Amino acid sequence: MRAILSPMIIILIFFTIPVLNLEAKSFLWEVEVKGEKSYILGSIHMLKKSSFPLKKELETGFENCNFLVVEADISTENMGEILRITMEKAGYNDGSKLKDHISPEAFNLAKKRMEDLNMSIDYFENFKPWFLAMSITSMELMKLGFDPNIGVDKYFINKAEGKKILELEGIPFQIGIFDSFSDKENDMFLISSLKEADSLGENVEAMVTAWQSGDINSLTKMVTDNRSEEAELEEIFTILIDKRNLSMSEKMAKWMNEGGRYFFVVGAAHLVGEKGIINLLREKGFILKQI
């Protein structure tokens, strides 16, 4: 069975240009600008302990850079503020409830999935659909052994002593994307995430295997196939991936042109395909080599 990626899985798990690979590599690209080498690593945000240690070339690239650049700085000292912002945006403050903003189909699917997790949907009655979707998917992944505390970005953040950490987006920006969803977009996002839950383990394992072996073609196909088959979700994919790719690639290009050695850690799906960061940087004239 081929892996199908819902928008939620793309966001929580990973985010490279389709190239023919005849030997195993890593999801790591080297780019030299003005005599200084920077690296772009496709990240998986939740991993199992068995995925470590990471490949030597990832560690070497990281050690040779003086800047660590991540989508958002989720350092331990920032978690209190991150939690505050999340709770501020995730709940309704107008007296309305979750059930008022989603379809009966979405509510019933969510209710059943929460029961499977030995929890009540009532716990989320004051929260928005996107937060419920993220919470359920996270719980399902943790039940399968995936740990958000040992994702690739978190791993390098914890090792960044002596390096300056820069953000491509930041948590307030990322949460703002979800908070901008209309009720219709929230409904589609939640339903898509819930329907993915039954095949979650198999699909995520396939993604991690492709990531570990540097199998660009397989991972690219997992992303692009789902976009072509779920046309009703295309606007959500555009918001969550394409528009962010443009913004992040502009910032990455600016910093590299200013000088310095950067180790970029970006969700692997953000690197994929014609609208992915790798291709966008190549179009700007940067020469990137997969390691």
**What's the confidence (pLDDT) of residue 84?**
95
Domain membership flag for residue 2: no
Q: What's the number of domains the chain is made of?
A: 1
How far is residue 42's CA from residue 261's CA, in Å, rounded to a whole number? Answer: 17
Domain membership flag for residue 1: no
Instruction: Please answer whether residues 30 and 37 qualify as being in contact, where contact means their C-beta atoms are separated by less than 8 angstroms.
Output: yes
**What's the confidence (pLDDT) of residue 20?**
34
What does pTM read for this prediction? 0.89
Phi, psi of 243, deg, nearest 5: -65, -35
- If one counts every other C-beta atom within 10 angstroms of the C-beta of residue 90, the result is 19
Closest CA to 206 of 196, 193, 192: 196
Domain membership flag for residue 44: yes
- E strands within 6-124? 28-33, 36-43, 67-70
Sign of CA dihedral 266, 286, 243, 85: positive
* % of the chain surpassing 70 pLDDT: 91
How far is residue 289's CA from residue 291's CA, in Å, rounded to a whole number? Answer: 6
Domain membership flag for residue 198: yes
Work out the average pLDDT over 53-76: 96
How far is residue 102's CA from residue 99's CA, in Å, rounded to a whole number? Answer: 6
Q: State the chain's mean pLDDT as an integer.
A: 89
In this prediction, residue 291 has a pLDDT band, given cuts at 50, 70 and 90, of very high
Work out the average pLDDT over 205-217: 84
Tokens coding 71 = 């989508």
Would you say residue 265 has pLDDT above 90? yes
How far is residue 52's CA from residue 155's CA, in Å, rounded to a whole number? Answer: 10
Domain membership flag for residue 56: yes
Provide the residue range defining the domain that includes 88.
7-290
**What's the confidence (pLDDT) of residue 7?**
60
